[in-house]
């Protein structure tokens, strides 16, 4: 692929990411006020957790074989369609479904980011402490603690958004 096309694709990905982040703000507010159903049961939450890494791998598409790339794209289409259908049935509105879909994946992405931050802080702190670089170790432990703090609070927030499967359809 030529560099200009690659640049265009990454610009589109950036615009899509910013749009999802902006749509997640009203989604979180509506979810707290229970105007929308973000996750329709734990199965929907697990589906979102499985879908996001596959989406990221497919979007990056690091020169995979053509067949593997198309299989990934078909899987993504099926997972996103099913997740969208679950959200539409729970919220009964296309507009709310769009906001909820963005909110689902932003929350899952944020908790994954914070978990990776906590893990990197812990491992980096242990390595620095082993080298007897205590100031660097302290800084890394602080980063890990901030990541763990984020995981804890995002987990509590997400738990409030998981609604029972018995929502009338």
pLDDT band at 132 (very low <50, low <70, confident <90, very high): very high
Distance CA 161, CA 24 (A): 13
pLDDT in tens, 45-75: 999 999 999 888 887 776 778 788 888 889 9
- CA nearest 110: which of 42, 43, 48? 48
Please give the structure tokens belonging to residue 118.
């906590």
């Amino acid at each position: 692929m030529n560099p200009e096309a690659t640049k265009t694709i990454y610009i589109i990905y950036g615009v899509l990411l910013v749009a999802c982040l902006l749509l997640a703000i009203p989604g979180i507010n509506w979810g707290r006020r229970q105007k929308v159903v973000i996750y329709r049961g734990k199965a929907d939450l697990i589906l979102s957790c499985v879908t996001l890494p596959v989406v990221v791998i497919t979007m990056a598409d690091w020169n995979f074989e053509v067949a593997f790339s198309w299989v990934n794209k078909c899987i993504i289409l099926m997972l996103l369609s099913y997740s969208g259908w679950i959200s539409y049935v729970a919220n009964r509105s296309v507009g709310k479904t769009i906001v909820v879909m963005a909110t689902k994946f932003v929350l899952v992405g944020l908790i994954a980011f914070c978990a990776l931050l906590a893990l990197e802080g812990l491992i980096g702190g242990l390595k620095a402490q082993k080298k007897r670089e205590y100031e660097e170790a302290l800084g890394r432990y602080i980063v890990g603690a901030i990541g763990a703090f984020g995981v804890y609070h995002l987990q509590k927030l997400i738990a409030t958004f998981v609604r029972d499967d018995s929502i009338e359809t």
